[in-house]
Amino acid sequence: MPEDSRPDTGVRSEPATAEVGSDRPLAPRWQRVVSSRWLYKTIFLLYFIFAVVQLLRFEKWARGSGPYVPRPESVAGMLPIGHFTSFFAWVRGGGWDMLLPAGLVIILMSLAVSLAFKRGFCGWICPVGTVWELFAALGRRLFGRNVRIPRWLDLAGRGFRYLLASLFMFALMVVPLSEAVGFRQLPYMWTADLKIVHLMAQPSWLAVAGLAAVLSVLFGPVWCRYLCPLGGLYSSVGAASPCAVSRDAEICIHCGRCAQVCHAFVDPSKVSRVHAPECDGCMDCVKECPVDGCLEAKAFSRVRIAPWVWPLLVIGLWLIIFGFASATGNWTSHIPPEQYRQVIQAGILEQRTQGFLE
Ligand code: SF4
Ligand code: SF4
Ligand code: SF4
């Protein structure tokens, strides 16, 4: 497609021959709001906190000390490893999990947005990542920047994350199918989200979280960059994304601003297309580039995607899959609340539910 006939969805109004070193005019306010990553991440974080509160209220009801509150299905997102077991069981022909289907749907949504939009789950949705990013932002506010650790250590840390991701996925893929299917039928699995919530209030967990927070203030979100196996998986998937940031080398003025604002320590000014698995499509570099048309998000290196359109596509894809799952009865758990009540009251940990399933 000729350069001048590309669909222009961009927010830039200055010509591509912008004077060297000049700034482009600010995008309209509504576009800046719509393209604000913090807006979406805050909404998802607040919703996550709301879901946890609802889960605790549901537990209170189950223990007989409060009114009935529906159990929020979205808390399944707290058990990614457990639901990945179920996901691989499904892929291998073990059937769809009708007991806790929301977990499978969340995995599918995360994989889909990460594949389509450069690790879009990490960039625009994940509430856990948002917490660590908040601490990293606090560090930048306090000290002006996050400290970059030596390159060799950074590479080793990132390698460790991919190793963790590979080991987890391998372990989940080789577990016998009958065991994987049986795992999701354990009442332990039904209430594991509650156990995690209670665990988060334990001093040992708070100490680890506090350490991670301090490290994030100093070095950026260390959990996301070096430890999170899911981040490793989504990065690998995102590397194959058809949508990515592209640079027009002919009009680049090598000002270095794109590298300066990149929270993932990627340098877009060195490449014609950002393949780096750490890129989460945050669009900060695109918005910061002072030369119109130099740095742009593109699908298949051709179709331009404006910075304010990108998050709408990410969230839109997420909601479309969610809506489809809800409309087809593949989101809500088929475990009756009374069954949950019995499990929570009895504190059953590892009892199979054959009676219920038969
Ligand atoms: S790396 Fe892990 S914790 Fe961080 S944003 Fe991605 S999935 Fe969330
Ligand atoms: S691509 Fe980066 S280095 Fe080149 S003009 Fe844009 S911000 Fe400056
Ligand atoms: S600033 Fe650019 S290169 Fe860095 S993560 Fe965001 S989109 Fe990717």
The confidence score (pLDDT) of residue 330 equals 94
Report the separation in Å between the CA atom of 137 and the middle of ligand 1, taken as the mean of its atom positions: 16
Q: Is 310 helix (H, G, I), strand (E, B) or coil?
A: helix
User: What mean pLDDT do residues 51-63 have?
Assistant: 95
110 burial (CB, 10 Å; 0-12 / 13-18 / 19+) is buried
User: Which residue has a Cα nearest atom 2 of ligand 1?
Assistant: 231
User: What mean pLDDT do residues 330-355 have?
Assistant: 75
Strands 295-299 and 243-247 come out as antiparallel
Contacts of 300 (CB under 8 A, 6+ apart): 242, 243
The confidence score (pLDDT) of residue 36 equals 94
Beta bridge partners of 245: 297
Contacts of 346 (CB under 8 A, 6+ apart): none
357 burial (CB, 10 Å; 0-12 / 13-18 / 19+) is exposed
pLDDT tens readout for residues 69-100: 999 999 988 888 788 888 988 998 989 988 88
pTM of the model: 0.87
Least confident of 3-7, 96-100, 232-236, 315-319: 3-7
Contacts of 94 (CB under 8 A, 6+ apart): 177, 180, 181
Report the separation in Å between the CA atom of 150 and the middle of ligand 2, taken as the mean of its atom positions: 25
pLDDT tens readout for residues 163-203: 999 998 898 888 888 888 888 778 888 888 999 999 998 99
* Ligand 3 binding pocket includes 279 (Cβ within 6 Å): yes
Give 347 or 104, the one with higher predicted confidence: 104
Domain-by-domain residue ranges, the chain? 37-240+308-357
Give the whole-number percent of the chain exceeding pLDDT 90. Answer: 70
CB 104 within 8 A of CB 90: yes
Q: From its phi and psi, is residue 64 left (phi > 0), alpha (psi between -120 and 50) or beta?
A: left
Please give the number of the atom of ligand 2 that sits closest to the Cα of 285: 7
pLDDT tens readout for residues 192-224: 899 999 999 899 999 999 999 999 999 999 999
